[in-house]
Each structure stands twice: as C-alpha cells, then as structure tokens.
Amino acid sequence: MTPTLLGRWQTRILLFLTVGLLLTLPFGLGWIGPGGTAFFAILFYLLGLGLGWDVLYIYLQKFRWDQDWPAAYQWLAALWEGLVIVLLFEAMAISLPGVDAEAFQLGWFLLHYMVVWVGIFLASQSLMRLLFLHWRFRGGQWL
C-alpha cells in the first residue's frame, strides 16, 4: 500500500484504537507488567504524535520518485516514534497528564510498544486488505 496523508491518518487512528487498544489491555490491567493507566496514556500520546509524524512522512515521500513507503521504512519510522517517547519520558523526564516521568519504566514501555507496533504492522499488512477492499487503492483510506 502506497499511503496518502488522509490514508495514513485514517489507518493510524483505526489501528491504534482497535488493535492498539486491545493489545494495551493486558498491560493496563496488570496481566503483564506493573499495570496502570499510563500504558493507555502513552498509547494516546503515540497516536497524537503519530498524526503529526504522518505529515512529515508524506513530505518525505515526495522526494522518492515512486512516492511510496516501503515496509522497511514503516519499521524505521516505528523506531523513531518509540525513541521520541523514550526521550520525552526517560531522558528528559517530562511528566505529562497521565504519565508520570518518575514512574516511567523503560523495560515495560519497550515491551508494550513492541507488542503494539508488531500487532499494528501485521494487521496493516493483512487484515486491513481483507476487511476494506478499497483501502489499498485509496492510499490507506478505509472510510
């Protein structure tokens, strides 16, 4: 799938609020790790920041002749997006509503982020196509 900006936003919102939320549940409820609402809050920060990153990615796409976004770039973008969260809460120790930087546990964040990200990536590579026929022809727009 070669994304457009609207497609990126729609796909990101849908997958974070379904697959992302579902995979955050075990972390938030304490089945895995210490639990707490911070996992949900981080998910929403990832989503919010991500909507901004999408604008940057679409701009970068214009520098590629094919104006595409290889799967490998999705992973590089994921590394970057995760790194920003780590910088924010761990390195710069900034507390934001819902996330107390003092209580931020890097190890559990990394595990949570990895699980959510891999889940979203796999769903975007398979389930989205099966549920929404037009999705891949409209740059990721499912609505």
Partner 1 sequence: MATSSAPIRLSWQDPSTGEQRLPHLSPPIALGREFTHMPVDWQGQRVSRIVLNSGQVSRFHALLTWENDQLRLQDQNSSNGTQVNGGRQTDCLLNHGDVLEIGPYRITLLLRDDTDLGANRVRGDSVILIADPIPEVAPVTSAFPPPFFQSRQVNIQALYATQYPVEEVDYGALGAGLGSFVWVDLLRLCGVSPQQVRVIGLEAQPYARYQRLCLNSQIPAHERLRSNSDSCPDNIWGWPGYALREAWHDFTQGQLRSVGYRLWQVFAEPTFAETYTPKSGRVFASIDREATRIGWPQMYRFGRIRAIRQTDDGRYAIAYALGRGQYAFLVARYIHLATGYPAIQFLPDLQDYRERTQDFQVVVNAYEAHDHVYQALERQGGTVLIRGRGIVASRILQRLYEARQRNPNIAVLHLMRSPKPKGNQFQYARRAVSNHFELQPFNWPKACWGGTLRSQLEQAGPEERMRLLADWGGTTTADRGDWQRIVQAGLDEGWYQVGFGTVTRVEPDAQGCPLTFIQEMGLKGEIKLEANFIIDATGLDGKVKTNPLLDELVTHYNLPLNLAGRLAVTNDFELVEMRNHKGRMYAAGAITFGGPYAAVDSFLGLQYAALCAVNSLAQGRAPQLRSLHGWHSLAQWCKWARNQTP
Count of residues touching partner 1 (by CB under 8 A): 29
Q: How far is the CB of 55 from partner 1 (least distance, A)?
A: 13
List Cβ neighbours of 20 (8 Å cut-off, separation of 6 or more): 43, 46, 47, 116, 119, 120
Q: Can residue 102 be called a binding residue for partner 1 (CB under 8 A)?
A: no
Report residue 46 CA to chain centroid gap.
6
> Candidates 10-18, 58-66, 98-106, 110-118 — which segment interacts with partner 1 by CB under 8 A?
58-66
Q: Residue 91 gets which letter from DSSP?
A: I
Q: Does 50 bind partner 1 (CB under 8 A)?
A: no
Span interacting with partner 1, options 2-10, 11-19, 49-57, 99-107, rule CB under 8 A: 2-10
73 binding partner 1? (CB under 8 A):
yes
Rounded CA separation 53/37 (Å) = 24
Q: At what angle do helices 106-125 and 38-61 cross, to 10 degrees?
A: 50
Three-class secondary structure of residue 99 per DSSP: strand
Q: Smallest distance, Å, CB 124 to partner 1?
A: 11
Q: Looking at beta carbons only, is 4 or 105 nearer to partner 1? A: 4
